[in-house]
Amino acid sequence: MSEQSFASIWDAIEDTPAEAENMKLRSALMIALKQHVARAGLNQTQAAKLFGVTQPRVSDLLRGKINLFGLDTLVNMAVAAGLHVEMRVLEAA
C-alpha cells in the first residue's frame, strides 16, 4: 500500500479537483463567518438578523454543516455582515 500526500484534506476526500476547490472556498468563508460571530459576541438570533437569514441557518453555519451552504449564500452572508471577500486565482501546482 503506497502512502499519498495531499495539500488539503479536501484534496484527499473529494472526488475531483473542482469539488475540492469549491469545498476549500466554502470552508474558508464558513470559518470567517463563525469567527465574526464570536468576535462580535453575537447570539444566533442577532447573527441571523445581521446575515439576513433565519436562526436555524446560523445554527447550521455554527455547527459546520458545510453541505447546506453554497458559495453564493456564504458570500452574501459575509457581505451582509460587513466583511469584504476576496478571491485569488493561481496556476495549479
Q: What's the pLDDT tens digit per position in 1-49?
A: 678 777 777 766 677 878 888 889 999 999 999 999 999 999 999 999 9
All domains of the chain, ordered by start, with CATH?
22-36+43-87 (1.10.260.40)
CA gap 59, 64 in Å, rounded: 9
Distances from the Cα of 4 to the Cαs of 1, 11, 62, 81, in angstroms?
10, 11, 31, 39
Phi, psi values for residue 62, rounded to 5°: -70, -25
Amino acid 4: pLDDT: 79
Amino acid at residue number 25: L
Mean pLDDT within 59-88:
96
* pTM, full prediction: 0.86
Amino acid 21: pLDDT: 87
Closest CA to 44 of 56, 36, 26, 35: 56
